[in-house]
Amino acid sequence: MRIPNNILRHELIGMECEVVASKNKSQIGTKGKIVDETMKTLIIESGKKEKRIQKDGCVFRLKLDSHMVDIEGKYIVSRPEDRIKKKFSKW
């Protein structure tokens, strides 16, 4: 079950996402559904377009059932299958 405490250990594909902070100012405010994830990027489907957003240097707001969770991109920079196995001490 996805809860704010363990969201980093779950799959992000299919979740609603918004970029709330970024080094690249043009990416701030990008909203949509995460359709793919690579080691260093998230691909967000925004309307009919897909936007590739670099993880490092961004803050993502993910929508869980009744919660909104902000995640710094530096914590999710890794391959999804490796991130799921990783232990996070300060999250």
Domain parsing of the chain, residue ranges: 7-85
pLDDT in tens, 30-64: 999 999 999 999 999 998 999 999 999 999 999 98
- Residue-level pLDDT at 55: 95
Distance CA(65)–CA(62), nearest Å, equals: 10
Radius of gyration of the chain (CA): 12
**How are strands ordered across the β-sheet holding 41-46?**
49-54, 41-46, 31-37, 16-22, 58-63, 68-72
pLDDT, residue 51, reads 96
Residue 89 is given by DSSP the state S
pLDDT digits (tens, 9 = 90+) for 63-84: 988 889 999 999 899 888 888 7
CA pair distance 47, 74, nearest whole angstrom: 26
CATH topology of domain 7-85: SH3 type barrels. (2.30.30)
Q: What is the predicted pLDDT for the residue at 6?
A: 81
Tell me, what's the pLDDT at 91?
A: 53
- Residue 65 confidence (pLDDT): 83
